[in-house]
Structure 1
Amino acid sequence: MIEELLPASVAAVEARIDDDAAVAAADEALLHPEEAALVAQAVAKRRREFAAVRACARQAMEKLGVPPQPVLSGRRGAPRWPDGLTGSMTHCDGYCAAALVRTADLASLGIDAEPHGPLPEGVLPVVTLPAERDRLRRLSVARPDIHWDRLLFSAKESVYKAWFPLTGLWLDFSEADIDLWADPGFDVPGHGGLRAELLVPGPTVDGRRVQTFEGRWTVRQGLVATAVPVPHG
């Protein structure tokens, strides 16, 4: 699902997270000691997701010919990747994915997956701009079977994950104006594109200021997924 949203240069691996306790224990046994220390005090669900998504990340490393290694956390919890790689991870109930790419091929990358359901009450006004809410209303009239509010939230998460490695700065929900659209012939499962206009000075990539991120989305298998690759040049 994630792989189809990304350029061919990206190695993406996804998995369904099994709730079986024995499988969960086996997954956690695959953690490197440095990783296990990061979630030693976490609840079982958090440890299971943490282990499963890192297993995906190591498989993605292998696809790129890089020896699998620990994935530790840096500033604001962002993953620290091996030299020469950049990427993103995501997990939600029952699903996880990791996407990695060589820094020679992409400047940055963000992915996100969410359950395909409405946002909790009161969240939408906090995470969206008035113009975004206007567009969501129009989209919801055209295709009420899609939870566009959750899709927009996922897009904002992917934009932030692509932004942070390039800047090291926080990006507030109000600092990116995101437009969503469906591909021609759109049906279920749905798919389409997204465009994020950064409302603060964007990152400098290869000597130029980038004020727009573009990406793709899909809705399928009870999930919404978004991906935002940032190219060079």
Structure 2
Amino acid sequence: MSGTVRTLLPAYAAALESTRELTGPPLFAAELRQIADALPARRAEYATVRRVARACLAELGVPPAVLVRGADGAPRWPHGTVGSLTHCRGYRAAAVARTRDADGLGVDAEPCAPLPARVLAQVTSPVERAHLAELAAARPEVPWCRVLFSAKEAYYKVWYPVMGCWLGFDDAEVEFRPDGVTGTFVVRPVSGGARRVRRADARFDPVATGFPALRGRWAADAGVMVTAIAAPAGSLPRPVRPPDPRPAQAGRTATGTLRWAQ
């Protein structure tokens, strides 16, 4: 396992990645049940990202633990820890921290390629599209739209375990601060999302929750784009509203795929 993702997170987080499938140790019975009907490629993907996660837990001195998805699709972490999983073609990664150090972690990996135009229109605001145009003019070799998509995914992975409700792509905006090969960004909640009608509560305002803007980092290497966000302990609010009554909506991207399907 290598560690590009580790460079994007604070020292208190254990973060590892793998560019090949790992074959041991065996999965727990509960994990095997979750993928009993999956295709071989999906089973290998599921198993590898959990083996990477357990290696992260071991770095923190936490014994191997069952890492199954809950009813909402989000992975369940051992008591006293927070974490995040991600995978895309040829890449698996995990990050874990103790709750004494972090309120949340979010990591996301995407192919280092532009988004389809129809997806870009769904996941960005006019302000963001103007920002992306400026960035593309300065550094055209970077697929900024894909980095933006990934940054919002990472933010959602910090948001959802705390707030327990769906956050749309139009409920947050990203601002980049490019810096060489790696860079930083800030994701902040915004009011007045244009597609809020898809929510169970159309009056929901993410800004009013008190959930903060969060800074993250990104890097591109070997055809993969990785984003990471760490929320230090004490930086996030307690949930201010009950969980979204439509759990099936809680983890869906603008493309209709499960964000949490880890």
Alignment TM-score > 0.5, same fold: yes
TM-score normalized by the length of structure 2:
0.79
Q: How far apart in 1 are the matches of 2:67 and 2:37?
A: 18
Q: How many residues align?
A: 217
Amino acid at match of 1:13: L
Secondary structure, aligned partner of 1:79: coil
Contact 1:57 1:98 in 2 (8 A): yes
Question: Residue deviations 1:88-136, cap 9 Å, x none?
Answer: 0000001000100000001111000111011124110011111111101
Could you say which residue in structure 2 is the equivalent of 1:11? 14
TM-score normalized by the length of structure 1:
0.89
Q: How far apart in 1 are the matches of 2:163 and 2:144?
A: 28
Amino acid at match of 1:155: A
Could you say which residue in structure 1 is the equivalent of 2:94? 98
Question: Residue deviations 1:7-66, cap 9 Å, x none?
Answer: 000001110124xxxx7xx45x72111001111111222111100000001111110001
1:51 aligned residue (35, 47, 53): 47
Q: How far apart in 2 are the matches of 1:168 and 1:122?
A: 28
Sequence identity, in percent? 44
Q: How far apart in 1 are the matches of 2:12 and 2:208?
A: 22
Q: CA RMSD in A?
A: 1.6
Runs of 4+ in 1 over 2 A off after TM superposition: 200-204
Secondary structure, aligned partner of 2:118: coil
Secondary structure, aligned partner of 2:83: strand
Q: Which runs of 5+ in 2 are unaligned?
A: 191-204, 235-262
Q: How far apart in 2 are the matches of 1:155 and 1:195?
A: 9
Q: How far apart in 1 are the matches of 2:100 and 2:35?
A: 32
Q: How far apart in 1 are the matches of 2:71 and 2:96?
A: 19
Contact 1:159 1:196 in 2 (8 A): yes
Amino acid at match of 1:100: V
Q: How far apart in 1 are the matches of 2:207 and 2:217?
A: 20
Could you say which residue in structure 2 is the equivalent of 1:68? 64
